Amino acid sequence: MGRRVVVPFPPQRIVSLVPSQTELLFDLGLGARVVGVTKFCIHPPEARQQATVVGGTKNFDFAKIATCQPDLIIGNKEENYQAGIEQLAAHYPVWLSDISDLPGALRMIKQVGLITGQGPRAAALAATVAERFGALGVALSPPESVAYLIWRKPYMAAAAGTFIDDLLARAGFANAFGALGRYPEIAPEQLAHAAPQRILLSSEPYPFKEKHVAELQEICPAARIQLVDGELFSWYGSRLLHAAAYLSQLR
């Protein structure tokens, strides 16, 4: 992010504002030092039980964060909101990740390890993730075209420049909306015109269910429509240990 952040080493009171990075901290053996998490930090289950819940990823409870007395706050450029981060950074060391692909995620994992005094453990975790993704191998050619939907009313897709797009490519899929940027709204007519061979309905942030498959099938009768685990497509921390196998199975 190009910011200079001074952190006491090793930090003893950490607030995590990103679910996937909360899970990473626990998997690095730092759970006892995590004193604040968001309401969306559902992994591991004990995170919200033992730490203070300090609001959501885009609406911080500053008073609760103050009671945590953090010596390190960990956030993410995309998942958190700039005004809130700037307000926190005026009082605490705030370290931000900025991730759009797998190499960026692996770099983040190692950096969090270095900052928290768990460098070797984080490096080993990142190496295992890289090895598992490397084992995905070469996909079938030509790749199958896929639309990955993250929202309904209006439909929104994960397009170019997103972490999800990078994982789709690594799984051997061609993003039907790869010519668009980030998270565009997609009209039903656009979806029909794109005619993806497969439509993936994410479990988050919109919780697509089986009942939504029929409405998409009407728009794209020839498409194969599946519900997919959004965490394994968009959580860029230690959950990546399970993502490669999931992508291989999906492919």
Residue 140: pLDDT band by 50, 70, 90 thresholds? low
For tokens 């390190």, what's the residue? 72
Same domain membership, residue 182 and residue 101: no
Domain that holds residue 238: 144-250
pLDDT attached to residue 182? 92
Residue 141: pLDDT band by 50, 70, 90 thresholds? confident
Residue 1: pLDDT band by 50, 70, 90 thresholds? confident
User: What percent of the chain is modeled with pLDDT above 90?
Assistant: 93
CA distance 196 to 135: 26
Which tokens go with 11? 């930090």
Nearest to 219 by CA among 250, 186, 185: 186
Tell me: the pLDDT tens digits for 174-202? 999 999 989 999 999 999 999 999 999 99
Peptide bond into 11 cis (omega under 30): no
pLDDT attached to residue 169? 94
Same domain membership, residue 179 and residue 84: no
Same domain membership, residue 187 and residue 246: yes
Q: For the chain, how many structural domains are there in total?
A: 2
pLDDT attached to residue 251? 85
pLDDT attached to residue 139? 66
pLDDT attached to residue 138? 66
CA distance 70 to 54: 12
- Mean pLDDT computed over every residue of the chain: 95
Q: In angstroms, what CA-CA distances link 2 with 43, 81, 95? A: 29, 17, 11
Question: Which of these three, 78, 110, 133, is where a domain ends?
Answer: 133
Tell me: the pLDDT tens digits for 41-51? 999 999 999 99
Same domain membership, residue 18 and residue 126: yes
Tell me: the pLDDT tens digits for 123-137? 999 999 999 999 987
CA distance 99 to 182: 12
CA distance 22 to 61: 17
pTM: 0.93
Is 151 inside any structural domain? yes
